Amino acid sequence: MTSPRVEIDLGKIQANARYLVRRLGTRGISVTGVTKAVCGHPDIVGAMLDGGVTSLADARIANLFRMRTAGITCPISMIRAPLLNEMEDVVRWCDASYNTEMDTILELGAAAQKLITSHDVILMIEMGDMREGILPENINDYAARVIATPGVTLKGIAANFACMRNVAPTDRDLARLSRLATQVEGACGPIIELVSGGGSANLTWALGQGSTGRVNNLRLGEAILLGTDPVTGQPITGLHTDAFALIAEVIETRLKPSSLPTRSIAPELGMLKLVRNDDLRARTILAVGQQDTDTSGLALPSGYRFIGATSDHTVIDTAKSAVPVGSEMKIGMNYSALMRAMSAPDVAKTVYGKQKMNGSADNREAHPFLTLV
């Protein structure tokens, strides 16, 4: 089978989605599945939907098109502010989009009128992450202008946490978001249907004992896909953390000293005699590199150590064990590594664990994996 490749267990993704939908449902919070890290892969999207997710969000037109043409009909939102040259596509493929700029919203309204439809707008509010967002003191004015714009409807408000600053939100942050929703309603009239409180970093808050206030939605990607907390990187209790694995082939394995003698170019050190390090260790090279994934985000098998990577090689220390050339290594990935691997054209994607969306079962071949991560 082709290597490098990402192997994807759809059953575990479905189970993660089901667990989160059920737990958050008891707190009055719906789940929007964020698909950007997997490029809108239809089989993975299908697993999320099978797990009870009822809406999706992505950041790229190509991913949205991929999902729609694969037969995905549930509500989908554009999670990144749309580009001015893609307005008609956003209106055509998305039910809603997250926005911060009135120029963009006016263009969306014009595109919606041209296509004889209406487009929902969710206003992003800056709550401290310092990425995108309208300042809270300006939200009433923006909401009023959206309401007055033909072709669009104000659906709700949203906030982002732990994307730029890697700081989890507090009870106070989410309570403030709730107050802003009530404030907008008081100033502008229409009911704020959606109050989206953030993403996977919000789960500790959402699954706690405190009040959730007006927050009735979370946008979850990493938690569903990898079962980990974006802030701490730690596993989330009750979730699978091994739904994805990167498979790479060994192309060289050799015992080498841990360091080789080098010659100094400094004249004053010319007479220095360098002592060779005879502590031989096995160095293994994998046929995968920075072009394929974020190599700093790989979780190697126990006892192995990352040494370095170039565009198409990853070098690891396998201690005293010389791994056979041609064998395959199964490697875990964090969110950054997953995102890069899923978008890399030379990394194959293999799904298993349930029927694929096209109705054909995936017959996975057996491979001599070294270990499971």
| DSSP annotation of 198 | -
CATH code, domain carrying 346: 2.40.30
Same domain? For 52 and 192 the reply is: yes
Rounded to an integer, the average pLDDT of 77-86 is 97
More confident residue, 370 or 70: 70
The residues near 163 (Cβ < 8 Å, ≥ 6 apart) are 129, 131, 199
pLDDT single digits (tens) 162-201: 999 889 999 999 999 999 999 999 999 889 999 999 999 9
Same domain? For 28 and 110 the reply is: yes
More confident residue, 206 or 362: 206
Q: What is d(CA 193, CA 260) in angstroms, rounded to the nearest whole number?
A: 65
Rounded to an integer, the average pLDDT of 47-69 is 98
Whether residue 179 lies inside any domain: the answer is: yes
The pLDDT-based confidence of 350 (bands split at 50, 70, 90) is very high
Whether residue 288 lies inside any domain: the answer is: yes
pLDDT of residue 281: 85
Q: Give pairs for 75-84: CB < 8 Å, separation 24+.
A: 77/32, 77/122, 79/34, 79/36, 79/219, 81/124, 81/132, 82/108
Whether residue 234 lies inside any domain: the answer is: no
Same domain? For 180 and 34 the reply is: yes
pLDDT single digits (tens) 95-149: 999 999 999 999 999 999 999 999 999 999 999 999 999 999 999 999 999 999 9
**Which of 8-22, 209-223, 310-324 is least confident?**
310-324
CB atoms within 10 A of CB 226: 28
Q: Residue 371: pLDDT above 80? A: no
Phi-psi region of 58 (alpha: psi -120 to 50; beta: other; left: phi over 0): beta
Q: What is d(CA 91, CA 263) in angstroms, rounded to the nearest whole number?
A: 64
Listed residue (21, 115, 122) closest to 78, CA to CA: 122
pLDDT of residue 242: 97
DSSP track, 63-125: HHHHHHHTT--S-EEE-SPPPGGGHHHHHHH-SEEEE--HHHHHHHHHHHHHTT--EEEEEEE
Phi and psi for 318 in degrees, rounded to 5?
-110, 30
Same domain? For 208 and 281 the reply is: no
Same domain? For 46 and 148 the reply is: yes
pLDDT of residue 319: 85
Rounded to an integer, the average pLDDT of 307-335 is 94
Helix (H, G, I), strand (E, B) or coil at 159: strand
Q: What is d(CA 359, CA 43) in angstroms, rounded to the nearest whole number?
A: 10
Same domain? For 250 and 203 the reply is: no
pLDDT of residue 266: 58
Same domain? For 217 and 258 the reply is: no
Number of domains composing the chain: 2
**Model pTM above 0.85:** yes
Listed residues 226, 256, 275: the one ending a domain: 226
Whether residue 370 lies inside any domain: the answer is: no
Same domain? For 179 and 274 the reply is: no
More confident residue, 310 or 167: 310
Same domain? For 183 and 248 the reply is: no
Same domain? For 147 and 262 the reply is: no
Whether residue 231 lies inside any domain: the answer is: no
Phi and psi for 102 in degrees, rounded to 5?
-65, -35
Domain that holds residue 318: 244-352
The residues near 166 (Cβ < 8 Å, ≥ 6 apart) are 230, 231
More confident residue, 353 or 148: 148
Listed residue (141, 155, 216) closest to 191, CA to CA: 155
CATH code, domain carrying 162: 3.20.20.10
Same domain? For 25 and 65 the reply is: yes
Same domain? For 23 and 93 the reply is: yes
| DSSP annotation of 48 | H
pLDDT single digits (tens) 228-279: 999 999 999 999 999 999 999 999 999 888 766 655 555 554 444 444 555 7
Query: Exposure of 322 by Cβ count < 10 A (0-12 exposed, 13-18 middle, 19+ buried)?
Result: middle
Distance of CA 90 to the CA centre of its chain: 20
pLDDT of residue 8: 98
Report the chain's mean pLDDT, rounded to a whole number. 91
Whether residue 359 lies inside any domain: the answer is: no
Query: Exposure of 192 by Cβ count < 10 A (0-12 exposed, 13-18 middle, 19+ buried)?
Result: buried
pLDDT of residue 262: 57
